[in-house]
Amino acid sequence: MPRALHFAAGYMANLGILAALAGRGDTVFSDQLNHACLVDGARLSRAEVRVYPHLDLAALEDMLAGCASPTKLVASDAVFSMDGDIAPLPELLALCERHDAWLVVDDAHGFGVLGEGGRGTLAHFGIASPRIVYMGTLGKAAGVHGAFVAGDEALIEWLVQRARTYIFTTASPPLLAVALAASLELVEAEEHRRTRLAALVGRLRKSLAGLPWKLKASETPIQPLIVGDNRAALDLAEGLRARGIWVPAIRPPTVPAGSARLRIALSAAHSVEHVDELAEALRALSGAR
């Protein structure tokens, strides 16, 4: 992309982008399962916020078609943080083109993991457009801290001038830049980490198949095991923890009521043995129910 801007955190980047690009009289369209910082950014912008059902492009199209705002912004996680599913970005982009809207993509969980060279979900789909505002975080796959927004030259200049979460905070220290430069080289060069991560995802899905709880459909390293009941999810997380395995139990309001889950997040630093150990522990705990 032509230009990028570093932010102190992904949270700050999303607040900055949405409040700088939209204002009173404008409309932000937001997927129902978007991360809290897109939700908060949309609120902060003072634009009207229209929430569409998760990945329901027909509903989004109806909303866009009926909207007369001068600036329209569609905001979506690229990889949803609690479900691990991937937004159909080519179709979202086509909708934005038809209705002259910006597409704000939060790729916190795709950058470094998906696409050639770990370039993220846009690369995964092979799409590019001057109407895409691309946000990637640097504290997850990149293993450091902070975030960046990339896009069209004029868009980034606008953010330099208008994004309050960029302007009114102290710039990140040079040591972070040095660590990030080294990290980005590894992200780009070490494809074997992504190959291994993908293999771990496949192994996990296969080995959890016979359990009483079901994994949600996800091809990313975020693998939610749906338990349903809050107490049962907490007990399961506790049981794993007692076996030395840390998997957080995610409950409402972070996820919809009745869908408490273990949010399994794999990393390239995990081994096949780790995955097998987790599967074994879950099998043992399912017998103990």
Ligand X SMILES: Cc1ncc(COP(=O)(O)O)c(C=O)c1O
What is the binding site for ligand X (CB under 6 A)? 9-11, 35, 37, 77, 81, 106, 108-109, 137, 139, 147
- DSSP SS3 for 257: coil
Q: Measured over all CA atoms, what is the biggest interatomic distance in the chain, rounded to whole angstroms? A: 59
- The closest alpha carbon to 148, from 184, 182, 115, 123, belongs to 184
* Dist. CA 163–CA 273, nearest whole Å: 45
Torsion 72-77-82-84 (CA) sign: positive
- DSSP three-state, residue 210: coil
Q: CA 266: distance to chain centroid?
A: 15
Q: How far apart are CA 136 and CA 120, in angstroms?
A: 8
Give min distance, CB of 82 to ligand X, in A.
8
> Does the annotation mark 124 as catalytic?
no
**Active-site residue flag, 109:** yes
Q: Does residue 70 sit in helix, strand or coil?
A: coil
Taking the alpha carbons at both ends of the chain, their separation in whole angstroms is 51
**Which member of 30, 45, 76, 81 is catalytic?**
81
Q: In this complex, which beta carbon is closest to ligand X, that of residue 262 or of residue 281?
A: 262
Residue with Cβ nearer ligand X (16 or 281)? 16
Nearer to ligand X, 109 or 119 (CB): 109
Strands (E) in the chain, as ranges, are 3-7, 27-31, 48-52, 72-77, 102-106, 132-137, 147-151, 214-215, 222-228, 249-250, 260-265
- Give the shortest CB-106-to-ligand X separation in angstroms: 5
Residue placing its CB nearer to ligand X in the complex, 79 or 281 = 79
In whole angstroms, how close is the CB of 93 to ligand X at the nearest point? 19
Please identify, using beta-carbon distances, which residue of 70 and 252 lies nearer to ligand X: 252
Q: How far is the CB of 206 from ligand X (least distance, A)?
A: 26
Q: Is 81 a catalytic residue?
A: yes
Q: How far is the CB of 77 from ligand X (least distance, A)?
A: 5
Work out the burial of residue 66: count CB atoms within 10 Å of its CB; fewer than 13 is exposed, 13-18 middle, 19 or more buried: exposed
Tell the smallest beta-carbon distance from residue 19 to ligand X (Å).
15
- Considering 30, 72, 140, 259, which one is annotated as catalytic? 140
Q: How far is CA 133 from CA 56, 65, 125, 136, in A?
A: 21, 21, 16, 10
Residues belonging to the active site: 81, 109, 140
